[in-house]
Amino acid sequence: MKVFLITGASTGIGEASARHAVDAGYRVVLAARSKDKLAALAEDLGGPDVALAVTCDVTDFASQQAMAAAAIDHFGQIDVVFANAGVGASGAGTEAGNVDNWRDMVLTNVLGVTYTAKACLEHLTASRGHLLLTGSRAGRIILKGSVYGATKWAVAGYASNLREELNPRGIRVTLIEPGLTDTPFFDDAKPDGLTADDVARGVIYAVQQPESVNVGDVLITPMPR
Ligand SMILES: NC(=O)c1ccc[n+]([C@@H]2O[C@H](COP(=O)([O-])OP(=O)(O)OC[C@H]3O[C@@H](n4cnc5c(N)ncnc54)[C@H](OP(=O)(O)O)[C@@H]3O)[C@@H](O)[C@H]2O)c1
């Protein structure tokens, strides 16, 4: 059984993707900072034979290396990596933005994704695996003064650059670009948004294509209600 590692697996899109991955026959490695949430999810997904919970801060490279090592110790392989952990903006645009929040966003959304790729690369090379990155529709459109949007433009650029580096080595690279999605990312409910399950189905679509097919971009947006 293939092994599917997800960062930002404690809630939202990552949690939903873990559930869909298990339904699709994968074993999963669940990484985030919230130890209790990850432990409860791992138990719910079937316990240690199916799901491994690993506490990890994606802004810390050593923590990501330890995450990859724990996955290999437990399951012996990593076939799919979903670099999904991310944080949002505390205020819209630049004038209302907060510089400490900008630091968190850049470290988590940009540097964290590069660390995940680097920490897992050796294992994806061994498995001729698949790397997915969570960008955003906000990384394709202009949002007035948005630093969050700029972090997702960076993820989109990095995904394209990685595809050039990794496809020739047999590793597939997919950028997942959700529009508004109703998750704990927001303090209030987003009834007009996608559900996390809607995005997770796009993730599973990309990984279930034949190995001769690289799905480059998956842009998923809600229909007007
Ligand atoms: N919701 C949307 O409308 C939307 C749209 C487009 C793209 N996205 C992107 O989708 C991804 C998932 O977001 P979501 O909507 O599912 O929100 P979410 O429910 O808030 O999930 C974010 C996940 O990232 C983890 N995380 C945050 N900082 C971390 C860190 N330093 N180290 C490890 N894990 C960390 C969180 O877990 P812990 O707090 O337990 O660490 C959580 O599991 C993000 O990259 C986000 O930018 C969201």
Residues 62 and 116: beta-carbon distance below 8 Å: no
Residue identifier of the C-alpha nearest atom 40 of ligand 1: 34
d(CA 119, CA 140): 27
Token digits for 201?
A: 């189905």
Q: Cβ(108) to ligand 1 under 6 A? A: yes
**CB-ligand 1 contact for 207 (6 Å cutoff):** no
List pLDDT tens digits, range 2-14: 999 999 999 999 9
CA distance linking residue 140 with residue 161, whole number of Å: 16
Determine the residue type at 151.
Answer: T
In this structure, what DSSP letter does residue 171 have?
-
Residue 181: the pLDDT is: 98
- Ligand 1 centroid distance, CA of 83 (Å): 10
Query: How many of the other CB atoms lie within 10 Å of CB of 103?
Result: 12
Q: What residues does 83 pair with on adjacent strands? A: 133
| pTM of the shown model | 0.98
At 92-144, the pLDDT tens digits run: 899 999 999 999 999 999 999 999 999 999 999 999 999 999 999 999 999 99
Centre of ligand 1 from the C-alpha of residue 155, in Å: 14
Domains defined along the chain, listed by start: 3-220 (3.40.50.720)
Centroid of chain to Cα 192:
22
